Chains A and B, each alone.
Chain A
Amino acid sequence: MLEFVLERGNYWAIIGLMMIGLYTLFAATNLIKKLVGLSIFQTSIILFYISLSRIDGGTAPILYGKDAKGHSGGHDEAAGAHGAASEAAHAASDAAHGAADAAHGAASHGLEHVYSNPLPHVLMLTAIVVGVATLAVGLAIVVRIREAYGTIESDEIRETDLEVARAEYAVDQADEANPA
């Protein structure tokens, strides 16, 4: 039982972070804190993908030693890395099941060394950019809210808006009562 828990330590960490992020997002009234919660939530997803890409004994996914020469080396490395990317992707899919023999996966593709799967890293690079853009837009809107309302507490903003709505409704009712 203990082993079951411990060998999945990364997933517990990810779930914990995810819950902390979501809780902050829902519970905080301060809009900046909400955005912080959102960032924590997104970071936990990045961790999730990165831990998917890990292979036991795998190194950074850059071909070296005999593997690089096998792909004719030199200027060819970029193209070679692409090949490794797709091969490692399949190797990692086995590994993701937990018990797969990663060395076997790599050997069957004719590579001497074991590489971790680069694809999730690339995906997360994109996700980070998306996260940065979202955060920037979010903060920009918060700045504008501060200028328009004088506060960044979401409950105070709701209160102000409610008052405005009530005032509008009162005017409407008055108009209905005696149409000019």
Chain B
Amino acid sequence: MMDWILQIAPAFAEAHAPALLILLPMLAGPIAAFLPGGGRVAWGMTVIVTGLCTLLSLILLAQVRSIEGGAIISYAMGGWAPPHGIEFRIDALNVLILLLVSVIAFLTSIFGWPTIKAEIADGKRAMFFGAFQVCFMGLLGVAATGDAFNLFVFLELSSIATYVLVALGSGRDRRALPAAINYLLMGTIGASFYVVGVGFLYAATGTLNMADLAVQLQDVGGNRAVQVGFAFILVGLGLKAAMFPLHQWLPNAYSYSPSFVTAFLAATATKVAIYAMVRFLFSVFSLDFAFEGMSLALILAPMGIAAMLACSFQAIFQADIRRTLAYSSVAQVGYMLLGISLGTAAGVSAGMFHLVNHALMKGALFMAVAGAVLTYQGTRIHDFAGLGRRAPWTMTAFAIAGLSLIGVPLTAGFQSKFALVSALLESGWWWAALLVVFSSVLAVIYMGRILEAVFFRAPANPHKEHGEAPLLILVPLWILAIANIWIGVDGGFVYGLATDAAEALFIGGAS
């Protein structure tokens, strides 16, 4: 069904799509940082680049799906053949992540201009867009690369740019600065742990290419170096992905960074880290090693459940909407981990499906909050009272995404939670399925508090009459909201992608 893209795309773009995808933001970033015009030109450039990247990811998706069961596209950087050279390896799993990251980046960069104009000082805007493109490029690189050390470099590229972006929230609230330094310290520990782990794997196998690592590790088996490496990589990527006890950096970083950055990060950064984790668990380490040798289910499942319950509880007691949503993000990461911890194709595809849906709903929620903040200032629930009447379009989209977060039928959240619960029941984990339902009840409470204030309470500030967000915010916001409903009504397409992704893992892991 996607062949038409391959027919209209130029042959050059098709042959070099993996490289161009990274190259475009890589080249555009430093250029955007020096563009004049108070950031307006840099913004235009960012929108164009992220749009082109979306097209390139669509080309890749079409290429991967052109073969039944998913093709694997390998692109050797510099012409050095893998496993010695650095390889970009696109399969059904990471093409999904590439598409997600570029679509979200495209929508958020359209949405970003009004909020950036309000929150970032004149002289810094061009640099801000430069940093954003570096961050975007890093995330794409993590998803695309097939080399374990290269993954670290891209991870750190995107993270360093992220620290800068978070710290730029200090123009609005100085608490962004301690949030940024905490994120920096935790994030760097995470990345360093990852590198130590890769070092152990390299010592055991003598290769850094992920596909080659998978083959070599089969021969090496579970020796001590591999086990230690596994533990380091899991903890390192867990820090980046905000796995339950390692999530302390996340709420502050999301609450105080500029609205644009929050919307982008919430929808992409932890997702890419989870992708990297899944890639290592299933592709590099074999299923037997990770789940039987290291009894991973006993580690991941309790952490996922703890995240679901503890962080949903914490979300209930927050006064600030962005903090509520940030804690809810950690809880949602718990759902994904729970799905992954099953170690079955159904579980992983439910996890990936929820990953995509969560990116769509959190993107929409944070965009709506940003739109409201633009005219009303203040992100506490109290400030949002009565906004439903003042800004019906913004808040209706907010409500749709909120209902999707709870998991109301006919929304995306319902589809992925349903997939998760059925995967849990299939493996006989009925108690975990009950806990998922219970955690959804907690979500009803914390989203309900906000929605009740928005729609049924008297306005907090009766003097402000009109509060609708500008059109630049409304359009991407509604695209995401409608995507939530579309997936909720007919989740087949995205669920199919997630299933393909999971199956690619299970077939790839066996070879």
Contacts and interface: CB of A to CB of B under 8 A. Distances in A.
B382 interface: yes
B157 to A, nearest CB: 8
Contacts of B416: none
A179 B195 contact: no
Contacts of A12: none
A85 B203 CA distance: 16
Nearest to B381: A172
Contacts of A141: 163, 167, 177, 180-181, 184
A81 interface: no
Contact of A45 (B163, B181, B192, B458): B192
Interface in A143-165: 144-145, 148-149, 154, 157-158, 161, 164
B167 A38 contact: no
Contact of A42 (B149, B157, B163, B192): B192
A145 B177 contact: yes
Interface bracket on B: 35 or more
A137 B160 contact: yes
A107 interface: no
A41 B192 contact: yes
A172 B382 contact: yes
B386 to A, nearest CB: 11
A145 B84 CA distance: 44
A86 interface: yes
B279 interface: no
B202 A52 contact: yes
A90 B206 contact: yes
B314 interface: no
Contacts, number: 107
A145 B181 contact: yes
B494 interface: no
Nearest to B174: A148
A103 interface: no
Interface stretch (A56-64, A65-73, A123-131): A123-131
A55 interface: no
B207 interface: yes
A168 B188 contact: no
Contacts of B205: 93
A144 B204 contact: no
A78 to B, nearest CB: 13
Given A93-B207, A172-B380, A134 B177 contact: no
Contacts of A157: 178
Contacts of A45: 192, 195-196, 199
Nearest to B458: A179
Contact of A168 (B180, B189, B380): B380
Given A144-B167, A144-B177, A134 B184 contact: yes
A180 B170 CA distance: 31
B242 to A, nearest CB: 19
A85 B83 CA distance: 13
Nearest to A93: B206
Contact of B84 (A31, A89, A169): A89
A161 B178 contact: yes
A138 B184 contact: yes
Contacts of A89: 84, 206-207
Contact of A86 (B84, B149, B156, B181): B84
A102 B459 CA distance: 76
Nearest to B206: A93
A176 interface: yes
A145 B80 CA distance: 45
A141 B460 CA distance: 35
Interface string B88-132: 000000000000000000000000000000000000000000000
B464 to A, nearest CB: 14
Nearest to A46: B195
A19 interface: no
B425 interface: no
7 contacts: A38-B185, A41-B189, A48-B199, A96-B203, A140-B167, A145-B178, A164-B175
Given A22-B189, A38-B189, A42-B192, 12 more contacts: A89-B206, A89-B207, A94-B206, A130-B157, A134-B156, A137-B184, A141-B167, A141-B184, A144-B170, A145-B177, A149-B177, A154-B178
Which 5 pairs from chain A and chain B are nearest by CB?
Answer: A93-B206, A96-B203, A148-B174, A86-B84, A130-B156
Interface of A: 22, 25, 31, 34-35, 38, 41-42, 45, 48-49, 52, 82, 85-86, 89-90, 92-94, 96-97, 119-120, 123, 126-127, 130, 133-134, 137-138, 140-142, 144-145, 148-149, 154, 157-158, 161, 164, 168-169, 172, 175-176, 179
